[in-house]
Structure 1
């Protein structure tokens, strides 16, 4: 059986928002994205719609050197590879396509984020926070990295997943995917 890879990207922009979240979590990374390629050209999450403002938030395609990550040039990250079957990869891509199709309907799940802090999952249609989104996409593809409902998954939960292989840790702007030279 052929396998493909997806990438889990944990990050910390050091914005005032992530600093406040960090006071609560004490975690090195407080944001998570899912990327469909090692070059991070197809990287998705729930986050800032506008780099200057923490809210409003929603479904976003993130760019390594544009938008929020360009605004916060000292963003640090940990990039993990996750091998998946072709069927799982197709399911992940299809789920993300559903989010893209309905992008304007999605909002940041601020109520669910409060529920996460209280230990109570709050699921809302068309509303997610970053780790809830990543966990949901993976769950729909039959992948369960964290033994919690998506509404209780924190970015730091991905740090302990044995299925993930760390491929890079450092400044996001400095990351270069391996060359495909033949």
Structure 2
């Protein structure tokens, strides 16, 4: 004879088993009633399912297309903002500091730029991926921290997108 019988005295189930069984029976009755009511709405459910299925195509077409991770393209681009009313000479003085700072980064090879008195844009080009110890994602925070040394310009570094975008 089992030490923990499934039934109580004289074949009766213990109170906890009866309570759990009643809860499951009530849940089963409620689920059955819900299904019976829903079967009366077959047309509406069919139309809803059809509309939802047809919406899959526009959802896919209008979803974001930039699903690729950022690649190491060997360059960190920068957007440069000068103070309002700056002269071209003052902006160039800040750019000289930026170029020196950028070329002092590990594995930096060259710096390109387009400058106006309001600011400009440019980029730091690094050695080939296989010739470097760090990728540009690891270099970017170091570069961003070093940019605080340039007071004349506001420089915002960023990595280019792996795939072309619409805007």
TM over 0.5: no
Q: Which has the larger radius of gyration?
A: 2
What TM-score, normalized to structure 2? 0.21
Structure number with the higher helix fraction is: 2
